[in-house]
Amino acid sequence: MPAVTESIAAAAEVTGCLTKMAIVPGQGGEPARYTLRAGEQRLDLNERLGKPLSLAWSGAIACTHCGRATKKSFAQGYCYPCFKRLAQCDTCIVKPETCHFFEGTCREPEWAERHCFQPHIVYLANASGLKVGITRGTQVPTRWLDQGAVQALPVLVVDTRQQSGFVEVLFKEEVSDRTNWRAMLKGETAALDLPAERDRLLARLEAGLANLRERFGADAIRVLDETPVALDYPVLEYPTKVVSHNLDKSPEVSGTLLGLKGQYLILDSGVINLRKYTGYEVKVVA
């Protein structure tokens, strides 16, 4: 895949292999800013709200890691050899509590030392209702924006990704770790009192957290005193019925751009999750 640059295309037409949209939190009450990324080219999507937009997939897919052509994308953007070889594609990334680094079987120990052995945040978010999640400290608030959360609150900071997985498993006894993407895209999410939910969960899970601190050290899992974050998205109109576009079945998608939330384009003809098509070579006309 060509090297990525940060230049924004002045033209309303870009061609290249998709990567996930870049999202920047809005300032001064403004909604988040979205940039579509296709190979080396960029397209400011906020400026296209209310206007026609079309995507056409050429049929080509390039691995987001090595750049080789692949007939099928694995784990949102990888060819099969990279999917099987890279640590970032291992199951322990999705389920950090299954980390096998200390067993000596990590696919890429040096990569793990850079990405997994750094502080991780355990948070509560509200995208379609209360959920728990984890992310590296450096990915706040990007992770929340990618999920379409309208509220988020950091609750705990831990020393490693594996520890965050154990904490998340504990929280999942009381709260979901899933987002209902259809509900998220309808924009009907009711506001929650996240500090109250945090206090309730910490009280209920006190014994379990104490066990984890006994295992990993008293300072390995620390409670944060943070203020909830409110997130807003550029949406002119939410769909009443969510219909999803699929480039694998219909390689051409078009409609009026009505909104941007999470990694989704909201068109009057349906919605499309651009992150799902990482590595797909597309032509976008707006």
Tokens of 34: 């979205």
Q: What is the pLDDT of residues 73-93, one digit of tens each?
A: 999 999 999 999 999 999 999
- The CA distance from 148 to 167, in Å, is 23
Q: Find the helix or strand (DSSP H, E) in which 136 lies.
A: strand 130-136
**Can you tell me whether residue 143 is helix, strand or coil?**
helix
Closest CA to 59 of 68, 71, 67: 71
Q: What percent of the chain has pLDDT over 90?
A: 95
Tell me the residue type at 1.
Answer: M
Q: 173-217, pLDDT tens digit by residue?
A: 999 999 999 999 999 999 999 999 999 999 999 999 999 999 999
Confidence check: pLDDT of 56 > 60: yes
Residues 11, 16, 19, 20, Cα dihedral to 10°: 30
Q: Compute the average pLDDT of residues 16-29.
A: 95
89 or 29, higher pLDDT: 89
Query: What is the Cα–Cα distance from 196 to 233, expressed in whole angstroms?
Result: 25
Instruction: Provide the pLDDT for residue 28.
Output: 85
Residues 269, 74, 261, 183: is their CA dihedral positive or negative?
A: positive
d(CA 179, CA 153): 16
Compute the average pLDDT of residues 159-169: 98
- Rounded to whole angstroms, the Cα distance separating 162 from 165 reads 5
271-284 pLDDT, tens per residue?
999 999 999 999 99
> Do 255 and 267 meet the contact criterion of CB atoms below 8 Å apart?
yes
In this predicted structure, the answer to whether residue 127 has a pLDDT above a threshold of 80 is yes
How far is residue 96 from each of residues 50, 168, 260, measured CA to CA in Å? 41, 9, 30
Token code pair at residue 50: 């209310």
pLDDT, the chain, mean: 95
pLDDT of 159 above 60: yes
59 in the Ramachandran plot: left (φ > 0), alpha (ψ -120 to 50) or beta? Answer: left
Residue 253 structure tokens: 């998608």
